[in-house]
Copies of this chain bind each other. A is one copy, B any other.
Amino acid sequence: MNSCPPNRSPGCPVEGALDMIGGKWKGVVMFHLLDGTKRFNELRRLMPGVTQRMLTRQLRELEADGLVHREVYAEVPPRVEYSLTQKGETLRGIILALKDWGETHVPYYAMSKRPMPESKTA
């Protein structure tokens, strides 16, 4: 967990915020929870490529950070629902802004490497 003591750099809150939403699947999880409570497998179907393991982990971390609420029902088969907390809701604007930005600026095609770019010499 990142910390932001008051004497740290003024950029530190950025770091702390990104630490909370920056895991591989966290942003996407939160995006899907924006339109309401969802169950585990529902989330999983919405996110091609995520493993059970990873989804469980990221949900638990989001829960630990107070962004996601996990509701366990005493049923069989198991029924567990996930929803954004009030704190998580405060990130709605940021998540949507990230989505908009990503749609505009993130390349569609995978690059296997990040080449070291040429830099201009003035």
Q: A residues near B, CB below 8 A?
A: 1-6, 8-22, 24-32, 46-48, 60-61, 63-65, 70-74, 87, 90-91, 93-95, 97-112, 114-117, 119-122
Instruction: Tell me if A9 and B72 are in contact (CB < 8 A).
Output: no
Which residue of chain B has its CB nearest to the CB of A73? B122
Q: How distant is the Cα of A68 from the Cα of B6 in the complex, in angstroms?
A: 28
Chain B nearest Cβ from A113, distance in angstroms? 8
Q: How distant is the Cα of A106 from the Cα of B28 in the complex, in angstroms?
A: 20
Chain B nearest Cβ from A10, distance in angstroms? 8
Instruction: Tell me if A105 and B17 are in contact (CB < 8 A).
Output: yes
Instruction: Tell me if A17 and B101 are in contact (CB < 8 A).
Output: yes
